[in-house]
Structure 1
């Protein structure tokens, strides 16, 4: 069959939703059914990929559309699929939320523990990540989170400096977080790979993904530039909701 440009575009468009194989699976190159984050939190037995709350290009020029599409449709989707595949081996785990799984890693069977840690963390982290950003976001925080940040760090500028510093210093892949510690105090921390602060008994109020797949297409090795630009995407209303949930 001769594949002209028009046919190629049609086939490329129809391929969204298909699962790719081999090495792509490990890196996040597969797609699953999308549902709301509410269904992610209230798991009924099968974890699902939440849709982006906005279009792929909605966060430009700070995060480009191609990065958003690959990041959500392929990387996040792979975490969901891999998590479901692991949990399928143990039906008694299917009624638990991803948060419950991450908070009780010692209760996860040894043969799937690393898979649940990596992919459950990736699923939870990214489900949060999409929602704490929005088009025309950014600016200084408002509401209760603004008061809490000023109390914990002195002012927003100092918090932002510490947050970016922690993200810049994370060697390799990982995340940088604003968390509520068990003693109720706010803190900045970073985690490796897809580890979640939930694993340490801390609640992640907001976090930025510093894996290269989150920024490399646009920023290449300039992680610091990505960290600076990311603040222009923040959805402080959603972050306030997470702060309320944390307290």
Structure 2
């Protein structure tokens, strides 16, 4: 049975960029709802014994389990999204991650431009990801709905921005670009992303999230 992971900060800690009301609904209603739905769907089945990432991989691609996949993937994506932000976040990365961004993405300014373009250009709901791809190089892309890089074994996610409207509508209305500016300039937790990068050599995709 899954449990709702606690937020890594208070509900008002990301204000004014993401307000307490947004966090109360997003975490307390949406995120909790996904956890509750997964538990209901797996109750009394052989899937109940699986932890989150193995469960996602088990049902990925199975059309008969699409509802379960969507809800399980959303649990993982939200756990990762909360940790991708910090009340003291934003700005530019440092150390090995900064060097990798410089050498593979052309520097922070080009990274920022590409990340914002991918996030604002993603049609409908979804996420924007910075990952280490199967070549070992950094990649930026948007994914629809509940899709997640941990459904496979070939990518290690470093950070993500939630693009569902409930992530930003109360604070930024329909201005997704303003939300992404706030995410990059004031919220993104580069220490979390750097720790995930440091773990690439020994971790498979999905294990970058701290154990529950």
- For Structure 1 versus Structure 2, the TM-score category normalised by the shorter chain is 0.7 to 0.9
Q: 1:80 aligns with which of 35, 41, 58?
A: 35
RMSD: 1.6
Partners of 2:108 and 2:173 in 1: CA distance: 28
Q: State whether structure 2 residue 49 is matched by structure 1 residue 95.
A: yes
**Shift in Å at residue 243 of structure 1?**
1.6
Mapping 1:194-213, distance limit 5 Å: 194-200=146-152, 201-213=154-166
SS at match of 2:157: strand
TM-score in terms of structure 2 length: 0.88
Stretches of structure 2 lacking an aligned partner (at least 5 in a row): 202-212
Hey, what does 1:226 align to over in structure 2? 179
Aligned length: 199
List runs of 5+ in structure 1 lacking aligned partners: 1-45
Aligned-partner Cα distance in 2 for 1:236–1:245: 14
Is 2:77 the counterpart of 1:125? yes
1 CA distance for matches of 2:51 and 2:158? Answer: 18
Rounded to whole Å, the distance in 2 between the matches of 1:152 and 1:83 is 38
Aligned 1:170-189 pairs, distance under 5 A:
170-189=122-141
* Distance in 1 between residues matched to 2:181 and 2:170, nearest whole Å: 16
Q: Is the 8 A contact 2:168 2:176 kept in 1?
A: yes
SS at match of 1:94: helix
Are 1:80 and 1:123, in contact at CA under 8 Å, matched by a contact in 2?
Answer: yes
Alignment of 1:34-49 (within 5 A): 46-49=1-4
Structure exhibiting the larger radius of gyration computed from Cα positions: 1
Query: 1:1-247 maps to which residues of 2 (within 5 A)?
Result: 46-90=1-45, 92-105=46-59, 111=64, 113-200=65-152, 201-231=154-184, 232-247=186-201
Provide the TM-score with structure 1 as the length reference. Answer: 0.76
